[in-house]
A and B are shown apart, each in its own frame.
Chain A
Amino acid sequence: MFEQIVFYAFAAGLIFAAFMVITVRNPVHAALFLVAGFFASAGLWLLLEAEFLAIALVLVYVGAVMVLFLFVVMMLDINITVLREGFTANLPIAGIVAFLMLAAIGLVVGRHHFGLTEIPAPQAAGADYENTAALGRVLYTQYLLPFEIAAVVLLVAIIAAIALTLRSTRQTKAPRPERQVRVTRAERVRLVSMAAEKPAPADAPEA
């Protein structure tokens, strides 16, 4: 009973947060609601006895990824009114399509097919069960290849990020002391030989 209350509380929180992410006006608030959404899913994962993953979600996504994301959102100069144009115009059609999709999905992925009689709840693990150790064991044995490919995907992401943002031309200006002290007079002073006085033009108009 208690488990169900907790589940519904977190699930409702997750749906609310997800809805707010796409509807609030302020992008910073949207990012903060996304953080709330991550917290709610971490709670759900705890209920599923995936403790390590739940904590990793909070540490990595809430702690690192979203903070960076917030910085990016704050630094970008987003004109929200321009982005919002056409949002309400398409809402009726989009709403109908979304509702129909939701109803169809609800019919298929409902109690009839995923109920407790069709798919019984797994046995709860004992007190000495170590989530982290079990995860580590399959990650480095059974799922070694996917794990390595994921690493390559991250490498490509790094290369792509650098390729898309690095400006090869120098944009920062800094003094170079080693060149400053070696400067010679010829580089700084140019002697120009010229007449001492500029002669007045012969046919200058009278003032």
Chain B
Amino acid sequence: MSKQYLTAHTVDEAHPAEIFSLALTPTSLLSASGSSALRVHSTTDATFPLQQTIPNAHKLGCHHVVTARGGLGNVAASVGFGGEIKVWALHKPEAASGQQPEWQLRWEIPPSKAQAQNGNANGGVIPGDVWAVALSADENYLACTTSDGRIHVWDIAARERIQTYETGARGGGSFAMAVDLSRDGRLTASGHENGAVYVFNNDAGRMVYSLSGLAKPVRTVAFSPGCKRLAAAGNAGVIAIYDMEHGEHVGNLVAPAARAAWITSLDWNDSGEYLLTGSLDGKVKVWDVARGVCVATHSETDSAVWSVRWLPKSDRALAPGVPRSEMFCAAGASRSITFYREATGS
């Protein structure tokens, strides 16, 4: 049985350049693009009004912005094309003042520090630039990948790097294009240009699984909310599902089309039943994980979709008369952000 989603709202020209990344808090949506500013839209209003623009966040443009999945939504992190990481904190004025909460820069990790290697054993190798980033559910830790295949974990409060996972000989690892932290904080996963997916145990500080299955570049990895599963996807155009108890490849979600487009982004819904994907051919798909089938396809645009995200479950209705239902959003080369909601009732 297919599911039906309706377009709830579209924010046209949300950015002056391609939108590369979306991140959600319980009340708002952060977006990053090829321009230097980050934008924040409210998700508690049916018109999704612009709440805040953070100018000059990343001079060369920004390719990743993240919040903690399942977190409180008080911290965000973004990475610019220049290789700098910025950590943002939501500043909440006193309730009486009547002012809106506002994101403020809390900490910047410059490129030289962000890509730093252990000790000084540089050996003349130029360290790779920082690429993907993830935040832990408790908003205390940040994991980022580098183009030479490393994964660094930072303690945000202490402002220091506490762990570096190597995935190849020094400087020889395959470009780590994606990273995620499990909501229980126990595991880190990375997806690489050579198709490899690695899982690390954060308590033990070492790799636990090296997962095969996707021979092509992996552009996105995500742990299920219950931390039992890991989903990975990319140029292969299929979604590989791995079991995290034994590190087994338990199945692929495959579209029936002859040639599947590259998948750029994937996200689990809060119940862990559905996966949302976006791809370069402009399609947004919802997958039923248990049955292994695609249950909804949206193709509002022909141009690349770079990011898709479920909105966190909310108890409040968006507007009077609009039933509460699960929502997601998508953005990409079209520069607009489209919100969808599940069609409920009859």
A, B: real partners: no
Interface residues of chain B, those whose CB is within 8 Å of chain A, are none
